[in-house]
Structures are given as structure tokens and as C-alpha cells.
């Protein structure tokens, strides 16, 4: 199955009207409205209402949307779910996922609401892992629900749980990143890295992006739109990769036209995963602006 590009997931505080109305302009792969940590207790209701309407507005019809809801054990979690599922959100970001039960409980609540609404949409889930317990359970979490499209690292809470703090080198996140990535890949779902908070530090941001891209992450959460083009450029495929992808896809097309069951390129067999990889590179190239949409 073709994978959706999710290099950039832009966090948008649900209480920031300007950002809620304008986030689509910056063209992140996913807009992630936040109803949790960035919203004051006194504004939970107004942020929920704002996001409920934004999700239904035409400006968000052609962009993937996610909402980070409040935990179900808070007074706000179920109210958030009811509003945003009704409004047609694509993904629910489940904060502070420590165990499989956290995911299953959320999955059940989503299913109940969807069944009641009868709108036929199957909302996806993104589990954010933000504790040592969550990292230890990451493999089971990643495999526990068909709704899960990915798992993400929430680094700020995680380092607090480890009794340490974030550094530029990121050694404190090494184990968590590796565990989350392996868990996601074993379950064949997406892996998403945490935010890089210092918006002015482009060099530090790029260093981190190259690192997580090298590990195999699909993308990263962002808190500032400035970082979107930096991130997308870093994920753009090289000319060598694009030329290879074009050759693979041409060989596949040629074999299909000639009715050949086996595809070969330069004497090597080309199988389905290689073709998927080539298509993925072409998608990335188009999304990054390296190739035109019609190429």
C-alpha cells in the first residue's frame, strides 16, 4: 500500500486563533491542532470549539489533520473526542501513551463515537510515547491496534521522566528513538520524532533532522512553521536517488507492457518492495519541489 508523506506535523495551539486559521498556508504534511498542553485549563472549551469549526472549514479539506486531545482520565478527553471526530479529523494523537491499554481504551471510545455518528469514517490513531514506561512497552503498543498509523516520541515529558534534560547532542533520547523506530518498523507503521524547541537555532535543527532521518524516522513534529521548508528540504531525495527511481519505474513499466512476470534492471531482479521504494522517492521528490507534480 502506498504510504502517505508525513515529514512535517505542525503543532497548532487550539487556543491561538491566528494560527488555527492560517496554519494550512505553510503547507505542512499534517496540521496537528493541540487541545492539550498548550491550552490553559480556562480555555479548553473555547479551543475545542475553535478546532471543531476549523476542521470543517474548506481550508482544511485538502490537508491531513490531527488533534492532540486531552487524556481520557481528564475532564476534557471525551469532550474533545466527541467534537473532533464529529468534525471529521483524520488522526487522534493520544498523549502520554504508557501501555497497550491506553491505546485500546482510546480506540474503543473512538469506535463508540463513530458508531453513534454513523458517518463511516475510520479515524486513525497516533500514540505519543512520553515516558520510560511507554518506551519499554513501545513494541506492544505499536502492534496493538489497526487504527495506529504511527508512534511518536514526546521528548519533553520523556526527559523529565528520565530525570534529565534535552541536550544538543541528544544522547538522552538515543535509546527511546531507537526503540520507537524499531517498534514502528516491526509493526509497519510510521515513526515520528519530537519537536526541536529552539526556533532560532537552524543549525541545531538541521543537525537533528539529518540524524533522525538517518535513523529512519518518517518525520518530525514542529512547533513553528519556519522549520517546515528546512525539514522538507532535508527530506528531499538526491538526484542520484531520483535517477535510480526513474530507471526502476521505467523498467517496471516496460516489463508490464511486454507481459513479463520478472522485472530486471542492469541484470538485477526488481521486486515489489523496490518498486514501492522508487515510487516513494518520486513522491518525495514531487512533494519537495525537486520535480514538478506532472513528472
Partner 1 sequence: MSKKLETAHAGTLESSDAFVRVIPMDEKGIVIELESSVEEIYGDAIRALILETAKAMNVDGIKLLVQDKGALDYVIKARVQTAILRASGDVKPDWSVLS
Residues that bind partner 1 (CB under 8 A): 17-18, 21-22, 45-46, 49-50, 52-54, 56-57, 79, 82-83, 86
- The residues pairing with 31 across neighbouring beta strands, listed in sequence order, are 10, 65
Nearer residue to partner 1 within complex by CB, 50 or 274: 50
Nearer residue to partner 1 within complex by CB, 79 or 206: 79
Nearer residue to partner 1 within complex by CB, 53 or 268: 53
Smallest CA-to-CA distance from 126 within 284, 35, 287, 9 is with 9
Give min distance, CB of 53 to partner 1, in A.
Answer: 4
Q: What whole-number distance in Å separates Cα of residue 201 and Cα of residue 259?
A: 54
Give min distance, CB of 51 to partner 1, in A.
Answer: 9
Give min distance, CB of 42 to partner 1, in A.
Answer: 10
- Number of neighbours of residue 138 by Cβ within 10 angstroms: 26
- Kindly report the backbone phi and psi dihedral angles of residue 140, in degrees, each rounded to the nearest multiple of 5, phi listed first: -70, -40
Give min distance, CB of 178 to partner 1, in A.
Answer: 42
- The residues pairing with 270 across neighbouring beta strands, listed in sequence order, are 263
Q: What whole-number distance in Å separates Cα of residue 217 and Cα of residue 180?
A: 9
Nearer residue to partner 1 within complex by CB, 19 or 263: 19
Nearer residue to partner 1 within complex by CB, 53 or 253: 53
Query: DSSP labels for 191-230?
Result: EEEPP---TT-HHHHHHHHHHHHHHT--EEEES-TTHHHH
Give min distance, CB of 75 to partner 1, in A.
Answer: 8
Amino acid at each position: 500500500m502506498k504510504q502517505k508523506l508525513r515529514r512535517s506535523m505542525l503543532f497548532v495551539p487550539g487556543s491561538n486563533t491566528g494560527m488555527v486559521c492560517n496554519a494550512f498556508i505553510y503547507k505542512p504534511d499534517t496540521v496537528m491542532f493541540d487541545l492539550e498542553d498548550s491550552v490553559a485549563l480556562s480555555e479548553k472549551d473555547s479551543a475545542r470549539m475553535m478546532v471543531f469549526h476549523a476542521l470543517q472549514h474548506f481550508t482544511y479539506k485538502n490537508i491531513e489533520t490531527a488533534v492532540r486531545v486531552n487524556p481520557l482520565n481528564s475532564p476534557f478527553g471525551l469532550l474533545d473526542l466527541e467534537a473532533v471526530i464529529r468534525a471529521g479529523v483524520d488522526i487522534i494523537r493520544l498523549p502520554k501513551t504508557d501501555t497497550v491499554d491506553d491505546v485500546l481504551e482510546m480506540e474503543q471510545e473512538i469506535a463508540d463515537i463513530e458508531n453513534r455518528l454513523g458517518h463511516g469514517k475510520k479515524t486513525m490513531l497516533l500514540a505519543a510515547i512520553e515516558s520510560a514506561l511507554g518506551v519499554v512497552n513501545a513494541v506492544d503498543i505499536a502492534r496493538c491496534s489497526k487504527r495506529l498509523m504511527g508512534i511518536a516520541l514526546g521528548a519533553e515529558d520523556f526527559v523529565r521522566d528520565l530525570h534529565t534534560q534535552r541536550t544538543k547532542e541528544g544522547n538522552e533520547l538515543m535509546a527511546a528513538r531507537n526503540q520507537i523506530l524499531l517498534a514502528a518498523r516491526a509493526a509497519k507503521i510510521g515513526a515520528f520524532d519530537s519537536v526541536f524547541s529552539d526556533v532560532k537555532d537552524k543549525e541545531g535543527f538541521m543537525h537533528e533532522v539529518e540524524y533522525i532521518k538517518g535513523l529512519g524516522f518518517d518525520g518530525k513534529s514542529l512547533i513553528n512553521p519556519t522549520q517546515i521548508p528546512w525539514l522538507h528540504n532535508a527530506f528531499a531525495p538526491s538526484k542520484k536517488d531520483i535517477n535510480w527511481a526513474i530507471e526502476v519505474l521505467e523498467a517496471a513499466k516496460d516489463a508490464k507492457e511486454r507481459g513479463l512476470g520478472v522485472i530486471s534492471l542492469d541484470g538485477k531482479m526488481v521486486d515489489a518492495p523496490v518498486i514501492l521504494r522508487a515510487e516513494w522517492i518520486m513522491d518525495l521528490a514531487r512533494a519537495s519541489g525537486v520535480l514538478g507534480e506532472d513528472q
